[in-house]
Amino acid sequence: AKGAGKGDWKRYRPDLQTAMIERSALRQALHEAVEREQFVLHYQPIVDMPTGAVVGLEALVRWQHPERGLLGPYHFIELAEESGAIVGIGGWALREALHRFVRWQRDHPAAAPAYVSVNVSARQFRRPDFVGQVRAALDGTGAAPGALLLEITESLVLHDTEQVLADLRALRALGVRIAIDDFGTGYSSLSYLRHLPVDVLKIDKSFIDDIVTSDRQAALVTAIVTLARDLGLTVVAEGIEDAGQRATLNGMGCPYGQGYLFSKPVPPEAVPGTITAAELT
């Protein structure tokens, strides 16, 4: 570090080394974790804002680490992207989410939500066979393409190549819907949206946090909701934690929301409307 003498560096070194060894152990374990069936998906409801009715579920991955317990994505997603393990994890998540969804629909036709939303990393999306993987997952599970929403990041479409655009069009041609996740964090101009083959904008939590107290934030979110409506896009506000935020968003005409106010992500057996009669007794 700047200003640190040689002695300081020596003293810090064991920590650095431990961190590096841990990171490399984690990287190794990550690569084996899919085969060892150590990942689970938790599900967070996406609700209709005026009524609170659940319309969709976002699948969020967790790693059941043999020694460390249940780890959230912040512990491993970055490493998985960097090492490429995310491709296998993401492929598994897609098949698993669709598989669960089909079972929920079969067992609870009246109570099951209309769609499941799955996160796709840029690295996974850019694989030449990604569209084929999605088609195979739909065919393999028997899920309707309209029941799948794929969440991609703004940066993927910002650095769009012709190939990314072609794949987005191919997915939509299948009947799959596309969402831009964490919308607003990618420093993009809003005008580029007009040309983008997507269906849903998920407004990032950082815009929602101060929506009640900051006129500036409120104005931004109003602009996004209005623009989306004009372009025929659907909007989901993320990270809604209190009733004040919900009321403000309702006032803006924001149609859909997601956040701890409604529910945290829950394990599959706790998804509302999916508890079987046997489990209730």
Which positions lie near ligand C2E, rule CB under 6 A? 44, 60-61, 72-74, 77, 86, 90, 93, 119, 121, 181-182, 239-241, 258-260, 265
Beta carbons of 115 and 134 less than 8 angstroms apart? no
C-beta of 154 vs 181, nearer to ligand C2E: 181
CA dihedral sign, ordered 220, 225, 229, 235: positive
Q: Does 154 bind Ca ion (CB under 5 A)?
A: no
**Stretch of 116-124, 228-236, 240-248, 255-263 contacting Ca ion, by CB under 5 A:** 116-124
C-beta of 154 vs 181, nearer to Ca ion: 181
Distances in Å between the alpha carbon of 32 and those of 59, 67, 80, 137, 178?
21, 15, 12, 21, 30
Q: Does 181 bind Ca ion (CB under 5 A)?
A: yes
Cα distance between residue 59 and residue 267, in whole Å: 10
Longest alpha-carbon distance in the chain = 68
C-beta of 29 vs 245, nearer to Ca ion: 245
Q: Count residues contacting Ca ion (CB under 5 A)?
A: 5
Provide the minimum distance between the beta carbon of 247 and Ca ion in the complex, in angstroms, as a whole number: 22
C-beta of 45 vs 255, nearer to ligand C2E: 45
Joined tokens for residue 243: 């009733």
> CB count, 10 Å around CB of 56?
24
Provide the minimum distance between the beta carbon of 65 and Ca ion in the complex, in angstroms, as a whole number: 22
Q: Which long-range contacts (CB under 8 A, 24 or more apart) does 80-87 make?
A: 80/30, 81/121, 81/122, 81/123, 83/27, 83/30, 83/31, 84/123, 85/27, 85/30, 85/31, 85/33, 85/34, 86/121, 86/123, 86/124, 87/121, 87/123, 87/124, 87/127
What per-residue string of b and e applies to 196-208 under the rule 16 or more CB within 10 Å gives b? bbbbbbbbbbebb
C-beta of 245 vs 274, nearer to ligand C2E: 245
Residue among 119, 124, 141, 274 that touches Ca ion (CB under 5 A): 119
Provide the minimum distance between the beta carbon of 181 and Ca ion in the complex, in angstroms, as a whole number: 4
Contact flags string 203-242 toward Ca ion, x per CB under 5 A: -----------------------------------x----
Joined tokens for residue 58: 């976002």
Burial (CB count within 10 angstroms: exposed 0-12, middle 13-18, buried 19+), residue 136: middle
Choose the contact partner of 154 out of ligand C2E, Ca ion, none; CB within 5 to 8 A by kind.
none
Q: Does 44 bind Ca ion (CB under 5 A)?
A: no
Provide the minimum distance between the beta carbon of 77 and Ca ion in the complex, in angstroms, as a whole number: 10
Choose the contact partner of 60 out of ligand C2E, Ca ion, none; CB within 5 to 8 A by kind.
ligand C2E
C-beta of 199 vs 241, nearer to ligand C2E: 241
Q: Does 274 bind Ca ion (CB under 5 A)?
A: no
Element (H, E) at 173: helix 162-174
C-beta of 258 vs 274, nearer to Ca ion: 258
Provide the minimum distance between the beta carbon of 118 and ligand C2E in the complex, in angstroms, as a whole number: 7
Binding residues for Ca ion, per CB under 5 A?
119, 151, 181-182, 238
